[in-house]
A and B are shown apart, each in its own frame.
Chain A
């Protein structure tokens, strides 16, 4: 789906755990996430720590939208 949305010229970032698939299928902006059942979260952490992680992932994701890329790029 990522590629099809990007074809309309809208920058899009893929937040996913299995980034090897994101790369294989050609998503251009990728943010590696925590785990499949909880991509933007980490249930094993205490709430404040989890919030920090979630915040950091989203900040990274929106930041990725402001960066010019020319091929699949991971933002770690």
Chain B
């Protein structure tokens, strides 16, 4: 069955005009325009382009909500199987516009394809939700970009496997566990031999980059400050009432400690399966130091210990979940308005 492809171009590639037309309102034409012509020819065995959205670069940037609504309305009307944007090469506004458009389609469940140069600012987000073919940095190389994009559209239509090493796109960043022909030991020895013999090899796990956060400003007057305790040690009330997982946490929990100076052994324990639980079960405050923090409070060194502590389990917990928990806990603490600082303990 022939698949339906919806194209998305800016005002220039859509044939309307140049910079002077960058703020033009979006339009939809049941036509094949600009790069669409080359792409349509290359995909004709599997799909047809049923129409083209033309979105002014500035219009998208200045009216994002309306722009996205237009795209969504068009998608709902046209019901495409694939959404194809750009190529945007290194054009920043166009790249953002393509990324935003892909977001709309992606959320509507439509697979997306695009084409960008590696430095396009719209790439970082777009590549996580669309197959973005790697292009040169100028439209002069359109002749190479078209087959690259068409190849991705074709494979999306036929359901053939799409691989970064084969199909020239920026990896989406999804690491899928698979079976392979050879066991790990054989692959490891081959890789070491390649290194020892100065031969090329490809690592199966490139090292990640970690991003940094601006340090938050320090507390000015500790004696008036409210400090909250957060921990990844898995310490919960006896019985684990909210069923916190012992590894690969899918949730975080919070527990009221109003009026409490301690987390007595027996009343509290740890469910964390990644470390020897003995010491923390003997004295849960070895992981969640409520007792010491209360001492500091009673002595006036800090103003107050927040009356709720936050807990999750930090083993085998995917970084994405940890990030989400941090965001959610951070949001809650921030919205309380009274939290001046946090101590976060890890095991």
Direct contact of A and B (CB under 8 A): yes
Check if A12 sits within 8 Å of B216, measured CB to CB: yes
CB neighbours of A37 from chain B (8 A):
275-280, 347
Q: Which residues of A contact B330 (CB under 8 A)?
A: 4-8, 10
Q: 8 Å CB contacts to A: which residues of B274-291? A: 275-280, 282-283, 285-287, 289
Q: How far is the CB of A34 from chain B (nearest CB, A)?
A: 8
A-B contact count (CB 8 A): 172
Given A10-B333, A12-B341, A15-B346, does the pair A38, B286 have CB atoms closer than 8 Å? yes
Query: Is A1 close to B, CB under 8 A?
Result: yes
C-alpha gap A71/B326 in the complex (Å):
20
In A33-74, the 8 Å CB interface with B consists of 33, 36-41, 43, 54-55, 57-59, 61-63, 65-71
In the complex, which residues of chain B have a beta carbon less than 8 angstroms from the beta carbon of A28? 213, 215-216
> A28 to chain B: closest CB distance in Å?
4
Task: Please encode chain B, from 133 to 157, with 1 for each CB lying within 8 Å of some chain A CB and 0 for all others.
Answer: 0000000000000000000000000
Tally of B interface residues using CB under 8 Å: 55
CB proximity to A under 8 Å, residues B220-244: 220, 222, 225, 227, 230, 232-233
Q: Does B82 contact A (CB under 8 A)?
A: no
Number of chain A residues whose Cβ lies closer than 8 Å to a Cβ of chain B: 47
* B342 with A5: CB separation less than 8 A: yes
Q: How far is the CB of A39 from chain B (nearest CB, A)?
A: 5
B327 within 8 Å of A (CB atoms): yes
A4 pairs with B217, CB closer than 8 A: no
Residues of B contacting A69 with CB < 8 Å? Answer: 215, 218
Q: Contact: B346 with A55, CB < 8 Å?
A: no
Residues of chain B lying within 8 A (CB to CB) of residue A22:
346
Most chain A CB neighbours (cut-off 10 Å) among B275, B326, B330, B346? B346
- Against A, the Cβ 8 Å flags (1 = close, 0 = not) of B293-314 are 1011000011000000000100
Q: Does B211 contact A (CB under 8 A)?
A: yes
Q: Using Cβ atoms and an 8 Å threshold, which residues of chain B touch A7?
A: 213, 327, 330
Q: List 28 A-B contacts (CB under 8 A).
A: A1-B326, A1-B329, A5-B230, A5-B344, A7-B327, A8-B334, A9-B216, A11-B340, A12-B216, A17-B347, A25-B210, A37-B280, A39-B233, A39-B346, A39-B347, A40-B285, A40-B289, A41-B279, A41-B285, A43-B282, A43-B283, A57-B289, A58-B296, A62-B227, A62-B296, A63-B222, A65-B340, A71-B215
